[in-house]
Chains A and B, each alone.
Chain A
Amino acid sequence: MWKGDSMEYLKAFLVGGAICALVQILLDKTTLMPGRVMVILVCTGAILGALGIYEPFAKWAGAGAGVPLTGFGNALFKGVKEAIDKEGFIGIFKGGFTASAVGVSAALVFSYIASWIFKPKMKS
């Protein structure tokens, strides 16, 4: 039991870390602005999801693949796909929002709470 769990943590840590390391190279070696890098990540996740690659990868890597923005892109694709299967054409407009609603709302609420507690300081 314990052995399995700790392996999961290790895998998530290594895979998530590897994705972040790749992105760090993008930030350091190119002139891409952070916003653009984030969009690239989301799109990559959605495309890999559509190709059927991301889902098995996420099953194996767990949070290491789910937490980075590529996971968000994959979730968007999954939501759209499910909504189309269920509701047809209208699902294109609905699915992405349904699937990402929890993540987006949580980010808004938690960052708002954080802004009450913490004030930005000078970088040093």
Chain B
Amino acid sequence: MSNVVNKEVSKMKGKQSILFKNPPYIIAASSVAGKKEGEGPFGHLIDTVHEDVLLGKDTWEEAESEFMKEAVEKALSKAELKSEDIRYLLAGDLLGQLIATSFGIAELKIPFFGLFGACSTIGEAMSLGAILIDGNFADKVIAVTSSHFASAEKQFRFPLGYGNQRPYSASWTVTGSGGVVLSNQKGKKIEGATIRIRGITVGKIVDYGIKDTMNMGAAMAPAACDTIKVHLSDMGIEPTYYDKIITGDLGYVGSDILIDLLKEENIDISKNHMDCGKEIFDQESQDTHAGGSGCACAAITFASYVIKQLQDRKWKRVLLLPTGSLHSKVSYNEGNTMPGIAHGVVIEAEG
């Protein structure tokens, strides 16, 4: 009998979801990005835009680290906090062994959990951060991720010095970093609505056997479909519950696949679906082929555009669903598939 979970305090919901008892507050969000992102549709909402994406460093990897450090510092200053006020930092990036993160945040001296969920990492970081806060293991945490076009091309495709051509289905890795400060209390400076993480749905790995790294949207769409389906059934809601269902970086190809896959399950999200990869660049003028991708794609879109819509009360409820392709250069070169994942985070605006 003692093993029976006490239903009164259980925050578990359905098979893979959590509904928080004291939903954590998002008290600040910061975004730092490169020139191309700055010229995109969200350019005016991004906190800092750097013309030189090398940031005066010697390597692209060091530049990415600097982007993340700046994003954390910006988030701290917007929340009017110091780094010692933060209990944990949950962060990750795309580079091997998370070097962009480790070298970027080392001197901030915040207890650190390194996470890898490929481009879904911001969803994973916000989910775990919210769990830590609702579980009373932390009062304030920062969730942050970064990516950089040049370092990602070097790691996953070809170094820029090689000068290869990019196929049309290839996505464009977003350069920059985005982060949020989560807290168990309302922020000091309240602009607009109060924003809280109401619940999460943790995604599972879905592998449809796609092997083309230039077409990651197709590899991740089935994972996004699975998480959305489970989320709606776990929470007992319809897609129309949300003002927006925001996938991470499926891009043009992947978004179409997701909508078709969900239609087969009799779920229609075509009216309120948005994809960060499709929105962060202007398709007409910026020539990014399939759209944006990378850990910073969902992070920057959320921390600049989505948060603004919530603060301005244009949207009341969104499902943020960052998507990731969990392959490495080694697994790809050895002919392996690209397993996809998507984590759902329910974000609501109050007041």
Contacts and interface: CB of A to CB of B under 8 A. Distances in A.
A28 B159 contact: no
B161 A120 contact: yes
B164 interface: yes
B214 interface: yes
Give the interface size class of chain A. Answer: 10 to 19
B162 to A, nearest CB: 8
B40 to A, nearest CB: 13
A28 B167 contact: yes
A116 to B, nearest CB: 12
Contacts of B160: 120-123
A106 to B, nearest CB: 18
B150 interface: yes
A28 B158 contact: no
Q: Which of A27, A31, A122, A123 has the most CB of B within 10 A?
A: A122
Contacts of B164: 34
B212 A28 contact: no
Contacts of B53: 122
Contacts of B161: 115, 120
Q: Is the interface of B mostly helix, strand, loop or mixed?
A: loop
Given A34-B164, A122-B36, A123-B149, 16 more contacts: A28-B167, A28-B168, A31-B215, A120-B150, A120-B159, A120-B161, A120-B163, A121-B160, A122-B34, A122-B35, A122-B149, A122-B150, A122-B160, A122-B175, A123-B160, A124-B36
Interface of B: 34-36, 53, 149-150, 158-161, 163-168, 175, 212, 214-215
Contacts of B158: 34
B298 to A, nearest CB: 21
B98 to A, nearest CB: 23
A124 B161 CA distance: 14
A108 B160 CA distance: 18
A28 B169 CA distance: 10
A71 B287 CA distance: 34
Given A120-B159, A122-B160, A123-B160, A27 B167 contact: yes
Nearest to B172: A123
A34 B167 CA distance: 10
Contacts of B215: 31
Contacts of A124: 36
A121 B166 CA distance: 15
Q: Which of B159, B160, B175 has the most CB of A within 10 A?
A: B160
Given A122-B149, A122-B150, A124-B36, A31 B165 contact: no
A31 B214 contact: yes
A32 to B, nearest CB: 10
A28 B214 CA distance: 12
Contacts of B167: 27-28, 31
A27 B165 contact: yes
B56 to A, nearest CB: 13
B149 A34 contact: no
14 contacts: A31-B214, A31-B215, A34-B158, A34-B164, A34-B165, A120-B159, A120-B160, A120-B161, A120-B163, A121-B160, A122-B36, A122-B149, A123-B149, A123-B160
